[in-house]
Structure 1
């Protein structure tokens, strides 16, 4: 009795395609590339050669001190009711002898402060200091404001208040005696303080001026 062997039937399903290794593959040009962000193994990006990012250089600019001295609110009566507007008096300085005063107006408080600060940056001036105090006594005047400034020894501190203190802190004065006389208006006091600081002269400048006059 003879037995017949049945030939194997070929499978109709196609052979599984080879799975590419993780992290790599082929692009349209047939070149290998990395799946992470489209970076190719030959070191080139889609947009051109690879460029490593350089760390940003630290900014060594002067550290500015910005102070808001006073914010005023003004109300205008119109047909529909009251319409408010705001004005801000700001002082800016680097605590190294440079100080500026600015005034800004807007319908909102943040906008008024922004305008006043920007105006102060544009109007910065340099004042003469002797270390952390002023070189000599000085009397500043502006409109109705009058301010007396006297130098003080180290450890005395900044004996000032209100608008006078804001200007002196921004300028970098740490030891001084002050007295505000006359008007208490913030704008007048601030400008009177700045007027006094602009009158300061160092000993060498006075000596050179006397020699030139002779």
Structure 2
């Protein structure tokens, strides 16, 4: 099995105000009685650069169909993330399978300091200044799903912290 990392600049489409980016295409093979049967899987990200993004995966016997399925899947999985200007609200740390991730807000002018998978997600989301580091598995699917989990748990973490220490605030 081999991964085809395709330059994102040539496979960027804008439809319905959404930015579509292809992250990675993988070729898989199955050995049957008649020989090898090849299939392809694609991982894509879709976003509006204003806090909405989705991640999708598609599988097919040919590359264009796999990409099309992945884009449709990403559009179905759109979520809204609250941003703090052009960065994330606070530091986020989470884990998915054996991929651990930490995201830190950065000051203006820092840029996106992250891997190519995370960079595509941040660009689709509209984040311009952030620092992100992945530990453990570097599988693009796991990194993308870990990022989605981080963003979905971002608000819950703040709510849990405020509820946990609510007894310190005196009620009037």
- Tell me by how many angstroms 1:113 deviates: 0.2
**Quick check: 1:182 aligned with 2:136?**
yes
Number of equivalenced pairs: 152
SS at match of 1:130: coil
Choose the corresponding residue for 1:123, options 65, 68, 77.
Answer: 77
Instruction: Map residues 106-145 of structure 1 onto 2, 5 A cutoff.
Output: 106-145=60-99
* RMSD of aligned alpha carbons: 2.4
Choose the corresponding residue for 1:68, options 13, 22, 27.
Answer: 22
TM-score by length of 1: 0.65
1:134 touches 1:200 (CA, 8 Å); kept in 2? no
Report the equivalent of 1:158.
Answer: 112
Report the equivalent of 2:31.
Answer: 77
SS at match of 1:75: strand
SS at match of 1:199: helix
SS at match of 1:120: helix
Structure with higher strand content: 2
Instruction: Map residues 1-214 of structure 1 onto 2, 5 A cutoff.
Output: 63-201=17-155, 210=163
TM-score by length of 2: 0.80
In structure 2, distance between residues paired with 1:164 and 1:140: 14
Report the equivalent of 1:29.
Answer: none
Q: RCO higher in 1 or 2 (8 Å CA, sep ≥ 6)?
A: 2
In structure 2, distance between residues paired with 1:62 and 1:96: 14
- Tell me by how many angstroms 1:62 deviates: 5.2
SS at match of 1:100: strand
In structure 1, distance between residues paired with 2:95 and 2:72: 25
In structure 2, distance between residues paired with 1:131 and 1:200: 16
**Post-superposition CA distance 1:3-23 (Å, at most 9, x none):** xxxxxxxxxxxxxxxxxxxxx
